[in-house]
A = this chain, B = another copy of it.
Amino acid sequence: MERNTAQHILDVARDIVRNRGYSAFSYADISDRVGIRKASIHYHFPSKDELVRTLVQQYRETMARRCDRIAQSPTSCEQQLIQFADLYRDGLHQNQICLCAMLAADFAVLPQSVRDEVRAFFQQTEAWLTALLQKGCEAQNWQCQPSVEQEAKGLIAMLQGAQLLARSAEDSRIAFEQVVYPLLLAKFPKA
C-alpha cells in the first residue's frame, strides 16, 4: 500500500491527533491501523515527542504549500479568501480539526520542541493572510479595520474557533459552513 512506513505512521498519527488530541493518542492506535507492532514504531521515531514534532513540521510545510498555491492561482482576492477558509472546512466531515488548533489546546502538556513548531505555524499563517488582506485593500476590494494584521488575527481566530464549536454539532462540516461563509461574504463583499 504505502512505499514508506515512516510516512504511513505520520499519516495515521496526524489523523488521530487531529481527532483526539495529543494526550489521547498512543502507539497502540498507530500499531492497529498501520499493521505494525508498537515496538517497531520506535525504530522510525525514537520517542513520541520526536514523532509529533515531525508531524507538525510536515503539516506546516503542507499548509504553506497549499497557501502558496492559492496565492498563485489566477482568481480574485475574494475567491482566495474563500479558498483559504475551505482549507479549514475540509477534513471536518471526519471531525478533523486543524492539527495546530488541537495542539494549541494541549499546549500545557507539549514538549518545547513541539510548542515551537505550533507557534511557527500560527505566525506563518498570520503572515500569509495579512498579505492577502493587504492585497485586497490595495485593490479596494475591501477595508480592514483597525488594521490588516488585526483583521488577519481575528479571521484566523474565527476559523479555528468555528472548527472547535462545530465539533459539538451533529454535522460539523455544515455547522462550520453556516457560520463562516455568510460572515465572510458580509465582511468582504464582491466575493
Interfacial chain B residues near A159, Cβ < 8 Å? 157, 161
In whole Å, how far is A91's beta carbon from the nearest beta carbon of chain B? 13
Closest to A154 in B: B183
Distance between A176 CB and nearest chain B CB, rounded to angstroms: 9
In the complex, which of the residues B20, B105, B146, B178 contacts A109, with contact meaning CB atoms closer than 8 Å? Answer: B20
A186 B146 Cβ-Cβ under 8 A: yes
Residues from chain B with a CB closer than 8 A to the CB of A107 are 95, 167-168
Q: Which A residues contact B (CB, under 8 angstroms)?
A: 19-24, 95, 97, 101-102, 104-109, 115, 118-119, 122, 145-147, 150-151, 153-154, 156-162, 164-165, 167-168, 178-180, 182-183, 185-186
